[in-house]
Amino acid sequence: MKLKQTGSVFENHGLWYYYVQLPGEAKRRNVPLRAPGAKHTLRTDRPRKMAEDAAARYWEEHTRQFRRHEPAAGATVAELCAMWDAHCKECYKGPDGLPTSSAINYVIDVRMFRELYGNAAVAELTHADMLQLRDALVRSGVSRHTVNRRLWCVKHMLDWALDEALIPASVKAELTQVRNVARGRTAAPERPPVRPIDDATISATLARMMPNTADMVRVHRLTGMRPCELCAMRWSLIDTSRTPWVYRVPPEANKNDWRGGLGQPRVVCIGPKARAILERHKDGGDVPFSPVRAFGEYLAGRRAARATPIYGKRKDAPPVPRALGDRWTTDAYTKTIRAAAEKAGVPPWGANRLRHTFGTDVRRNFGLDAARAVLGHTGGGCITDVYTYDAIADEMVRKAAPAVEALG
């Protein structure tokens, strides 16, 4: 809905001005009028029509943010986002029937779009509104990568809306023409690559963890699997009849199970060092690493370190851990690592950096193809580059050195 333009154009000391009170402002003010792209105020020797056109452009530019909050006929952006939310929760489900992280992220990524244009009709939005959305994302302080991902998600929602006949093709065509922000050409900060975690930091962190959880981190470091894959590990899923052992990741923990007609399988090879660690946990049932056992070790350690004696019935009774799940969640696993790192006096780090560490080691010693196989990447080397960033330069030197030594 368009706001009716108010204010008046007048001349003062040979210059054109616009006397106007914009919506949301407390009082009127004098605005010097300029031609498009000009730095100086229009002089009165220019036609009045040019000054009136400049005033109309100023009004249009500075009232767009207020027009979007007015009620509009037809489907609004808020209604479209609500339907998109319901679609994501229904479409992006895991084998357990619960919404996946993609469903949650897709709703979060369109939040700024809904906040800016919630009450505006989708059909009334223009390419300029999408540019303003991009500028708002940049000003929000998120990284350039996040700005582009959220722009892509809004475009993806508009593609879906067109398939569902919620918007006309002309609207979709206009609103999806906004370009991504380029590296070095935007105020949005760059997100630094995730670097491997050094073994000294890992060792310091392990010293402040319970033995069961510390072995879990060691296996993670020696296999390079995803945290969700490690948390879902079961002895019944590990083929110990071959060398190396092969862990077949279950569908609920397989990030790429949805890809392809039959799903993309994910297997993790377990080498001799990791096998030796796992062997120590064969007597704990089907789950090698359990939060119940880790918490039991914590309680036993506290009891052994008591300075005062235990009296009464509790003297001979073992400590009883609180009710916990039979498996780790990725959030609890990461929080445990961060808490141990803080106790050890090292910078807190996340569990997924262990995957970067092992992938980098594999690429440095065995090349890109081996790193892709270990990390479970089948869509090309570009995603593997993200996990093995520190090994790229070493690989380039190794490949270029023979030619340079021979010809350079």
The size of the chain, in residues, is: 408
CA 142, CA 108: separation in Å to the nearest integer?
13
pLDDT at 403 over 60: yes
CA 134, CA 127: separation in Å to the nearest integer?
11
| Tokens representing residue 31 in the block | 């605005």
pLDDT at 317 over 70: no
- Model confidence at 313, pLDDT cuts 50, 70, 90, reads low
Q: Mean pLDDT lowest for which of 185-199, 218-232, 280-294?
A: 280-294
pLDDT for res 311: 63
Amino acid letter, residue 374: V
pLDDT at 261 over 70: no
pLDDT tens-digit series, residues 36-94: 777 788 888 888 888 898 888 888 877 766 554 444 446 889 999 999 998 998 888 87
pLDDT for res 92: 85
| Residue intervals in the chain for CATH 1.10.150 | 77-175
Angle between helix 368-375 and 353-366 (nearest 10): 150
CA 280, CA 214: separation in Å to the nearest integer?
12
27-42: average pLDDT: 85
347-376: average pLDDT: 91
pLDDT for res 58: 86
Angle between helix 199-206 and 211-223 (nearest 10): 160
pLDDT at 30 over 60: yes
77-175 has which fold? DNA polymerase; domain 1 (1.10.150)
Report the SS3 class of residue 72. coil
pLDDT for res 211: 86
pLDDT for res 38: 77
How does 366-375 read in b/e, with b if 16+ C-beta sit within 10 Å?
Answer: eebeebbebb
Alpha-carbon distances of 340 from 204, 323, 329, rounded to whole Å: 9, 22, 17
State the burial class of residue 68 (Cβ atoms within 10 Å of its Cβ: 0-12, 13-18, 19+).
buried
Q: If you compute the radius of gyration of the chain from its CA atoms, what whole number of angstroms results? A: 30
Q: Mean pLDDT lowest for which of 12-16, 17-21, 214-218, 289-293?
A: 289-293
pLDDT tens-digit series, residues 120-161: 889 889 999 999 999 999 998 899 999 999 999 999 999 999
| Residue intervals in the chain for CATH 1.10.443.10 | 199-290+326-357
3 touches 23 (CB < 8 A): yes
| Domain at 199-290+326-357: CATH code | 1.10.443.10
pLDDT at 318 over 70: no
Q: What is the mean pLDDT of the chain?
A: 85
- Model confidence at 282, pLDDT cuts 50, 70, 90, reads confident
How does 154-190 read in b/e, with b if 16+ C-beta sit within 10 Å?
Answer: bbebbebbbeeebbeeebbebbbebeebeeeebebee
Sheet of strand 238-239: strand arrangement: 238-239, 245-248, 267-270
100-127: average pLDDT: 89
pLDDT at 1 over 50: no
pLDDT for res 64: 66
- Ramachandran area for residue 14 (φ above 0: left; ψ -120 to 50: alpha; else beta): left
